Chain A
Amino acid sequence: MCIDVNHVSKQYTLWKIKGWTRRERQVIEAVKDVSFRVEPGRALALIGPNGAGKSTLIKLLCGILSPTRGSIRVLGMDPFKDRSKLAYHISSVFGQRSQLWYHLPPIDTFLLLGRIYDIDRVELKKRMKELVELFDLSSFLYQPVRKLSLGQRMRCEIAAALIHNPKILFLDEPTIGLDVVARSMVIDILKDLNQRKNVTIILTSHDTGDIERLCEDVIVLNEGRIVLESNIREMRKNFFHTKIIEIEFAGQHADLDLPPGVSVIERSGPVVKLEVNLKVQDANEVVSRIVAQNSVRDITIQDPPLESIIQHIYLSGDPAGREAEQNAQIDG
């Protein structure tokens, strides 16, 4: 087991200032009775709204904070007690914090990190060569960091985090501020690392596109609790009760005769977007019916974006219980 979190809670103290001199102590429970496990080589997304406890959980996993209750094992170690030992096996990239030296080329940071992690010179040279190839850094390896684009800088940040060949990589918003091309490149590299090099990835991100492309598993946190732990594919299956059908009609089309559970959500010339409630109607049947009644040029069936599921989960609080209840009512 790579990560084993057992009934972990983390409380901390906040001081509220009331009036001029009065201070009131408030105990915040940032993480509440959280348990989960991560197998080696998996890619897990930790998602949740601001203040959900994601950062606290990452800090607990890295050994920066100690749990108030419960136990954590990361690579068989207690992260808080064995922090310095664990530091050689894990790494982190925080999208808004840089570890590169601003006036110096990235290679200088790589060499320093090699010394920090006590890497043998020959091994370091080999490792750097691999990373330069993997992240395609050769063209700007000797350019000062201040002259690099944001995308180039982020590739260097991730390469720097991998210099000591960590078994677990913690990524906090690694693509923040990147353009589409740079973002795609970073995610592709991370995916490759995860799949080919078996690096376990723990990602926190607000970008559902990144999560969907990179991660297999997801944990949704809200107010310090796990509200959903699932495989992303499973989550789609369990939480998508609608499908979007986009139809481009050939020429004019009469008013559509839509069965119950199907509604028009957008109309633009010959293109009509429909939403099908899968609890009431089968999407394929709706398509067959429309194709039989009209002359259709093109038709596509899509899932609603992952973002809408996540929004739904945040808003519903305890989706697993509520969804199960609703399904039971429909089945009954």
Chain B
Amino acid sequence: MLKSMDKYLAAAALSAKNYLGYASEVIFRSGFLVVILFVFVNLWTVTYSRSGAEIIAGFDLRQMLWYLVFTESIVISRPRVHLKVEEDIRTGAVSYALARPYNYLLFQLSVSFGERMVRFISTLTVGYAVMTVMVRPYFPDLSILPFLTVTVALAMMADLIGMITIGFLAFWVEDVSPFFLVYSRLQMLLGGMIVPITLFPPFLRKLSEWLPFRFMVYAPAKLFVNCDISQALSLMAGQIFICVLLFLIGMSIYRMGVKRLDVNGG
């Protein structure tokens, strides 16, 4: 099992190394976060001062701002793996991957995960520096860091598997962008990227609890600001379940697509 995972770990590491070649994109992407954070800091400062409340939806102002640094870093770091998969299917490159001894979904997951980790770390570093200057530094409890690392990794994996699965729809449709648009907007709204889901009205909150998006964005960011280990374990269990479920859905769609490939002559 470990030996068979070795190739995927190697692919993730190489992808991270390869992505360092895109230094200018890393800088630009991180620079964009500065603008977003500047807007959020001003928006939430005004919101808290006008409402007069110290805590909104379980977050004080400082927690809210650090929560947003984290959610933005997770979402901005997302590579366009659905388009890569779409291109592979459209150009027929996916059929050549069949003749290699690896699982195509896991391989794409590894490659996009490696790239995403570099983007996430660079974006979070910039976000951390900006927030330290604009608000004040934040030091999460060190004991939470291992849990946080695993939670972030699982959140990204769940999201990437979802994106790869959307890419697989290219076996049937010419353009997967509309599907991704719906997926990303749902994630943005119901995953807690812009506002924490605890701020939602009850029915919307209920809905977001039933959807997988909160495991991808809200949950790791919440853990980052409240450092609750007991929450971390149940969160990780939920994330593992979502990853496995999405993987099974993705593989079923992929297998159906590959059958179609055979029928359509590759």
B20–chain A nearest beta-carbon distance, Å: 8
Q: Digit string of A52-95 for contact with B (CB within 8 Å is 1, else 0)?
A: 00011001001111100000000000000001101110101010
Given A90-B99, A116-B100, do A13 and B7 touch, yes or no (CB 8 Å)?
Answer: no
A117 surroundings in chain B (CB, below 8 A): 101
Neighbour of B265 across the interface among A56, A86, A94, A102, CB < 8 A: A56
Given A108-B14, A118-B3, do A12 and B96 touch, yes or no (CB 8 Å)?
Answer: no
- Inter-subunit contact B262/A66 (CB<8 Å): yes
**What's the dominant secondary structure at chain A's contact region?**
mixed
A32 contacts the other chain (CB 8 A): no
A262 contacts the other chain (CB 8 A): no
- Inter-subunit contact B265/A64 (CB<8 Å): no
Inter-chain CA distance A97–B263, complex, in Å, is 23
What interface size band does chain A fall in? 35 or more
Q: Digit string of B150-185 for contact with A (CB within 8 Å is 1, else 0)?
A: 000000000000000000000000000000000000
A59 surroundings in chain B (CB, below 8 A): 95, 266
Given A104-B21, A118-B3, do A83 and B98 touch, yes or no (CB 8 Å)?
Answer: yes
- Inter-subunit contact A112/B11 (CB<8 Å): yes
- Inter-subunit contact B265/A12 (CB<8 Å): yes
**What's the dominant secondary structure at chain B's contact region?**
helix
Inter-chain CA distance A111–B18, complex, in Å, is 14
- Inter-subunit contact A115/B18 (CB<8 Å): no
A103 contacts the other chain (CB 8 A): yes
Inter-chain CA distance A104–B264, complex, in Å, is 35
- Inter-subunit contact A92/B14 (CB<8 Å): no
A49 contacts the other chain (CB 8 A): no
What interface size band does chain B fall in? 20 to 34
- Inter-subunit contact A28/B265 (CB<8 Å): yes
A310–chain B nearest beta-carbon distance, Å: 25
- Inter-subunit contact A64/B98 (CB<8 Å): yes
B44 surroundings in chain A (CB, below 8 A): none
Q: Digit string of A13-33 for contact with B (CB within 8 Å is 1, else 0)?
A: 110000000000000101000
- Inter-subunit contact B98/A115 (CB<8 Å): no
B108–chain A nearest beta-carbon distance, Å: 14
- Inter-subunit contact B100/A64 (CB<8 Å): no
Given A56-B265, A65-B266, do A83 and B99 touch, yes or no (CB 8 Å)?
Answer: yes
- Inter-subunit contact B7/A115 (CB<8 Å): yes
Which 5 residue pairs of A and B lie closest in terms of their CB atoms, listed nearest first? A103-B21, A12-B265, A115-B10, A87-B101, A62-B99
Enumerate chain B interface residues (CB-CB to A < 8 A): 3, 6-7, 10-11, 14, 17-18, 20-22, 93, 95-96, 98-102, 261-266
Q: List 22 A-B contacts (CB under 8 A).
A: A14-B264, A28-B265, A56-B265, A62-B99, A66-B262, A84-B101, A88-B101, A90-B99, A92-B96, A97-B93, A102-B18, A104-B21, A108-B14, A108-B17, A111-B10, A112-B11, A115-B6, A115-B7, A115-B11, A116-B11, A118-B3, A118-B7
Q: A12-B263, A64-B99, A111-B14 are in contact. List 7 more A-B contacts (CB 8 A).
A: A12-B265, A66-B262, A83-B99, A84-B101, A103-B22, A104-B21, A118-B7
